[in-house]
């Protein structure tokens, strides 16, 4: 919609201050070029013919020469006017498209949504939610980054992510979690055992029965973890084992009998044959999963976090 204030008929424009590429003037110029008439352009723009004539004369002065031939019935572009009109039309088209894209972003129906998540969230929580979101908002381009929670938090705070799905496992929530943090779910930690383990046939395992086992993990050295806290409550200190960061590597080490490991329930579907998962008796360790947003989140990001919160209900098997 044209800015009619740019064509105010009550005040004369100081032609020395008029800028050649002022958007309002370019729109006026475009209307005159398309209609071939000062009068018709004035009607379209909601201003007087004299105001249009003054603006065009000022524009011609700024452009260094005539842009229109004045004919008995209307006007037509000069060669210089045709050059300016070609560029003006391109500029105005880009601005109109920019306005449409901005409206889509602010309405949550366009633009790009950059989502970061830790590995086990990408095993189950993220794929289902990404599919739901893509079906509901097909105009939003989705990008997914995988990483450890501290790194995802750093990327969010640096403006490189729009949503970060993070957790407090293994050593607590990193930093302040970003600008705005929403608790999504509690994810209980199960113990992964090789199939031939002496406790593999139990329905649930007492953590104290694992006091002599080596633990496969990659927690930061010297920091308290959910594992050390749970073992301390059970009255022992866990034995250190191989330090392996990737879940596929942890699973391989456990399957080979090199130790046992805590595995989040979210990762249960990704556990390969050769391992068994068992809950722990009594008070079992639980990690908390969060969605972090910047202080000024995108509407699409808010919608995505809402869907993450609905994940459990959407994936529950019918009874």
196-206 residue pLDDT tens: 999 999 999 99
pLDDT number for residue 276: 93
Mean predicted lDDT score pLDDT of the chain: 85
CB-count exposure of residue 214 (10 Å: 0-12, 13-18, 19+): middle
Q: Is the pLDDT of residue 145 over 90?
A: yes
Read off the pLDDT of residues 91-112 as tens digits, 9 standing for 90 and up: 999 998 888 888 888 888 899 9
Which of the given ranges, 13-17, 45-49, 83-87, has the highest pLDDT on average?
Answer: 83-87
Q: Is the pLDDT of residue 256 over 50?
A: yes
Contacts of 150 (CB under 8 A, 6+ apart): 174, 175
In percent, the amount of the chain with pLDDT more than 90 equals: 52
Q: Given pLDDT bands bounded at 50, 70 and 90, which one contains residue 287?
A: confident
Domains in the chain (CATH in brackets) are 4-107 (1.10.10.10), 112-314 (3.40.190.290)
Q: Given pLDDT bands bounded at 50, 70 and 90, which one contains residue 289?
A: very high
pLDDT number for residue 301: 95
pLDDT number for residue 100: 82
Mean pLDDT of 136-154: 92
Do residues 251 and 120 touch, judged by C-beta distance below 8 A? no
Mean pLDDT of 151-155: 92
More confident site: 15 or 283 = 283
Mean pLDDT of 1-27: 56
pLDDT number for residue 191: 93
């Amino acid at each position: 919609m044209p800015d009619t204030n740019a064509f105010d008929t009550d005040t004369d424009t100081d032609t020395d201050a008029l800028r050649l590429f002022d958007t309002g003037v370019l729109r006026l110029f475009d209307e005159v070029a398309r209609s071939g008439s000062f009068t018709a352009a004035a009607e379209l723009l909601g201003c007087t013919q004299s105001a249009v004539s003054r603006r065009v004369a000022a524009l011609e002065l700024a452009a260094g020469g005539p842009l229109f031939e004045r004919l008995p019935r209307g006007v037509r572009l000069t060669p210089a006017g045709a050059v300016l009109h070609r560029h003006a039309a391109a500029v105005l088209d880009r601005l109109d498209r920019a306005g449409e894209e901005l409206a889509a972003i602010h309405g949550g129906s366009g633009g790009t949504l950059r989502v970061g998540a830790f590995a086990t969230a990408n095993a189950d929580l993220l794929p289902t939610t990404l599919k739901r979101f893509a079906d509901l908002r097909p105009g939003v381009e989705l990008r997914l980054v995988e990483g450890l929670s501290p790194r995802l938090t750093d990327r969010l705070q640096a403006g490189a992510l729009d949503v970060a799905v993070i957790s407090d496992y293994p050593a607590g929530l990193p930093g302040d979690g970003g600008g705005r943090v929403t608790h999504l779910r509690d994810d209980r930690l199960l113990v992964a055992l090789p199939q031939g383990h002496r406790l593999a046939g139990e329905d649930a395992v007492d953590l104290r029965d694992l006091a002599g086992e080596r633990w496969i993990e990659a927690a930061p050295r010297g920091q308290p973890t959910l594992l050390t806290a749970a073992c301390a409550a059970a009255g022992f200190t866990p034995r250190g084992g191989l330090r392996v960061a990737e879940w596929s590597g942890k699973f391989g080490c456990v399957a080979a009998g090199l130790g046992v490991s805590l595995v989040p329930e979210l990762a249960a579907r990704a556990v390969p044959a050769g391992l068994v998962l068992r809950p722990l008796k009594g008070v079992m360790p639980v990690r908390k999963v969060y969605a972090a947003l910047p202080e000024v989140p995108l509407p699409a990001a808010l919608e995505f976090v809402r869907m993450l919160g609905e994940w459990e209900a959407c994936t529950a098997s019918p009874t």
